[in-house]
Amino acid sequence: MSVWNKIRLPFAGAARSDVICPYCLERLERKNLIRVCPICKKETPDTGRVEKCSTPGCGGSFTQLKCGYEFCGAMLPAGLLEYDKYLRFSMIGTVGAGKTSFLTAMLHELRNADNSPWVLSHMDSLTETTFQKNERRMFEEKKTMEATTAGISPRPQLWRIRDLDKQTNRRIPSYSVTIYDGAGEDFEKEIDPVISRYVAGSKVLVILIDPLVLNEAVSEIPKEIRDWSSSNTSRHTKDTKGTPTAMVDNLANFIRACCGISVDKKIDRDVAIVFTKVDIVEGEFHAGVTMQPSPHLEKRGFDLADADAVDQEIRDWLAEKRQSAFLKAINANFVNGRVRFFGVSNFGKPPVGPYRLGTVTPHRVLDPLIWMLYKEGIVPAV
């Protein structure tokens, strides 16, 4: 039976998702696939079978797959046609929100948590090289991340998650995870067509917000903690602090432009609004659920009661800090039933000096990902 026929078969009683090129995000059908010989690089249309290369003296086989769209032409990761689920999300946020730090902390925790049922592995070498560099800087060198270079469209990170909780004697279900992490400045400029494709093709939008941009919320935080916890430029501080409505509207306008959503309609996408750096406002939540350890991994599912409590605590905190304009802007731009608030700490505690961290112990950084797995039907509500 051909590889292409295999992806049409149901696994674990559920039909497979469409196969998407992780680079251009176009749907891949057989007519859009090209097979490549890894030895002589000869190309041939995909027939659903791995055939021998006919080039004299080569001796190879057409084992590699390539996206057949002319504007893409990317080599596809091995096994791309064989996943049970295809998960795609884009991280959107303003400058200094900590997108790369959040992504690094989330992947580190997913890979190293003792009670995780998932095995994380990279799908291409660039993904692993990027992660190792960032992980080493954050967890070993104990330095804050350098800002993502603006104006350069990075390749998406491609990860594979294997689900040990659902394994059988014959197979382990696996999920393809495509993550796009761009520079904050790129979300404030003219729409880049590459970025637009990733945002439009994402199943979940993760909007990261630095609580430092909300003046009333952090007015009592010592200045040195604010300075050490922020990678903001003076331009960013001047333009965004004290203007929560404009910040949300700018992000919403960017999403609308990418996804072709008119201004008179709310954005009907699953949206995780993640407040990073809750460590610097820990005292505001006292003994609240937000600052307690996450229960989701322990319970092997998405704890709706816990998530609802965190969502409500963050909304109440914003209201208490006179951020009603921020909440109104969220309600005006997004379908309320598809928005959930999260509070995380990438480092676990504030930096101890300029660009210097203490021991890094991420807090609740897996919660948005587990919510996405719940929305995909991969983990149950508990």
How distant is the alpha carbon of residue 55 from its chain centre?
Answer: 42
Q: How many CB atoms lie within 10 A of CB 192?
A: 17
142: left (phi over 0), alpha (psi -120 to 50) or beta: left
Structure tokens at 122: 């990279």
Q: Is residue 162 helix, strand or coil? A: strand
Q: How many CB atoms lie within 10 A of CB 211?
A: 24
**DSSP category for residue 146:** P
Measured between alpha carbons, how far is residue 214 from residues 68, 217, 244, 268 in Å?
A: 46, 5, 7, 26
Structure tokens at 105: 């902390």
Q: State pLDDT tens for residues 188-227.
A: 555 677 778 888 888 899 999 888 887 766 777 777 777 7
pTM across the whole model = 0.86
Contact 343, 314 (CB under 8 A): yes
Structure tokens at 73: 């032409």
Q: State pLDDT tens for residues 229-287.
A: 765 443 344 444 447 788 888 889 888 988 889 999 999 999 999 999 999 888 888 78
End-to-end CA gap in the chain: 39
Q: State pLDDT tens for residues 302-345.
A: 999 999 999 999 999 999 888 888 899 999 999 988 999 999 99
